[in-house]
């Protein structure tokens, strides 16, 4: 190998030169308006207002002439905090080897160590981490799932978009029919209404409409106490549900463990947790049959993979929350058969649609995550900042 062909030697702190180095980062805040205000149990119990928008933090990372894109998000408050924190720490990644994603992730954590390793801090880092993984897969010319080592080329998928509590029963069943006709395999509806009789009537009606062979899930969004969850859960056992989601407070590992022991229906939870350590409490307490980590919330793909290893070792199933554009790749690389949540909310942001057929979501074959922002997404930009040499926006 000639001197010109030799790989660059890493400098202190993992700094390198040439096309291997992170040469630029662009952060962009995008506000996605929702067509209809969305309400779940947290709204009906007075804890939150209906959701009208989702704020996204996009990160574009450049190394040489290659780019990667990642995103995090916030429902209701938090979007500005994510953007502000990312803007403070992003320069830490400049000059580091773009392939050393674990080292970069750790350096970003330490750059903001005074605000901890969970919450808005990790969600801000997540966008950069995900962009680095997208970049790595693009440079390899592989879909991210293939780079990670896929076990399957499609993943079971279920629809959530049409099952919120603001929708009446006719709208829910009509949407369920549309989803199944579009190749989606399961249906999830929201529960947690202040009057539990409303929940039970809706579940019974939807199960009757779908028949006993269509996978059906319910999601209480943390609105039950332990006694209520046990009482309603015993009734729900008769409907053959795939799972009961977030029946209790997200941090009540002990309560979830007791409930899982008492009910036949599997318990699923974890979407609100923002670190591997928090999820490990669920695993350690045997509090969930199915964990539902969210890569943008736990800090990106790097910690998600750590968590997936812990879950698989403990015999726990996986059903990642939201962000199907990212999670289809991660679910395909999980050893156990998984579920991916189908949400159509993000469709206006990206040029390509996720393919569903025969109850499954197909892993995209485009390099990386396979994401390309739309012109509409660019019109929803509220703020942007760049570091280093980032070039033109990713297309």
- Tell me the catalytic residues: 190, 321
- How far is the C-alpha of 124 from the C-alpha of 110, rounded, in Å? 13
Q: Coil, strand, or helix at residue 386?
A: strand
40 token code pair: 């779940």
Q: Is residue 286 left, alpha or beta, with left meaning phi > 0 and alpha meaning psi from -120 to 50?
A: left
* Residue labelled with tokens 């574009």: 60
- How far is the C-alpha of 349 from the C-alpha of 88, rounded, in Å? 25
Backbone angles phi, psi at 11, to 5 degrees: -90, -175
75 forms bridges with which residues in the sheet?
A: 54
Q: Coil, strand, or helix at residue 150?
A: coil
Q: Coil, strand, or helix at residue 70?
A: strand
Q: Is residue 4 left, alpha or beta, with left meaning phi > 0 and alpha meaning psi from -120 to 50?
A: alpha
- Judge whether 38 and 110 are in contact, CB under 8 Å: no
Considering just the CA atoms, what is the radius of gyration of the chain in Å? 21
State the Cα angle at 299 between 223 and 352, rounded to 5°: 90
Under 8 Å CB-to-CB from 239, ≥6 apart: which residues?
Answer: 203, 204, 207, 216
- How far is the C-alpha of 224 from the C-alpha of 33, rounded, in Å? 29
Under 8 Å CB-to-CB from 168, ≥6 apart: which residues?
Answer: none
64 token code pair: 């040489």
* Residue labelled with tokens 């009606």: 205
- How far is the C-alpha of 302 from the C-alpha of 295, rounded, in Å? 9
Backbone angles phi, psi at 133, to 5 degrees: -65, -40
- How far is the C-alpha of 50 from the C-alpha of 318, rounded, in Å? 28
- Judge whether 288 and 269 are in contact, CB under 8 Å: yes
């Amino acid at each position: 190998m000639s001197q010109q062909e030799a790989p660059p030697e890493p400098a202190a702190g993992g700094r390198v030169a040439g096309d291997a180095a992170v040469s630029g980062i662009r952060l962009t805040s995008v506000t996605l308006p929702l067509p209809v205000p969305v309400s779940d149990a947290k709204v009906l119990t007075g804890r939150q207002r209906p959701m009208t928008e989702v704020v996204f933090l996009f990160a574009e990372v450049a190394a040489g002439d290659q780019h990667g894109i990642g995103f995090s998000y916030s429902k209701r408050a938090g979007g500005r905090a994510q953007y502000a924190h990312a803007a403070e720490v992003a320069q830490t990644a400049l000059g580091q080897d773009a392939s050393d994603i674990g080292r970069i992730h750790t350096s970003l954590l330490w750059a903001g160590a005074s605000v901890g390793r969970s919450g808005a801090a990790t969600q801000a880092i997540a966008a950069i981490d995900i962009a680095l993984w997208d970049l790595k897969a693009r440079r390899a010319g592989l879909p991210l799932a293939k780079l990670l080592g896929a076990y399957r080329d499609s993943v079971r998928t279920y629809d959530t978009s049409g099952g919120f509590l603001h929708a009446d029963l006719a709208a829910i069943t009509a949407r369920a029919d549309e989803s199944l006709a579009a190749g989606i395999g399961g249906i999830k509806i929201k529960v947690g209404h202040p009057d539990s009789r409303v929940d039970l009537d809706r579940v019974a009606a939807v199960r009757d409409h779908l028949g006993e062979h269509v996978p059906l899930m319910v999601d209480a969004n943390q609105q039950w106490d332990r006694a209520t969850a046990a009482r309603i859960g015993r009734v729900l056992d008769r409907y053959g549900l795939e799972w009961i989601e977030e029946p209790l407070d997200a941090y009540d590992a002990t309560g979830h463990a007791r409930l899982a022991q008492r009910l036949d229906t599997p318990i699923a939870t974890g979407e609100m947790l923002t670190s591997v350590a928090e999820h490990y409490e669920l695993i350690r307490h045997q509090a969930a049959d199915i964990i539902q980590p969210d890569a943008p919330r736990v800090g990106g793909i790097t910690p998600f993979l750590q968590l997936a290893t812990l879950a698989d070792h403990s015999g726990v199933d996986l059903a990642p929350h939201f962000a199907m554009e990212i999670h289809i790749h991660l679910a395909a690389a999980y050893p156990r058969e998984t579920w991916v949540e189908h949400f159509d909310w993000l469709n206006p942001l990206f040029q390509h649609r996720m393919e569903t057929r025969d109850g499954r979501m197909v892993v995209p074959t485009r390099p990386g995550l396979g994401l390309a922002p739309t012109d509409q997404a660019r019109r929803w930009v509220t703020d942007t900042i760049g570091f280093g040499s980032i070039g033109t926006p990713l297309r």
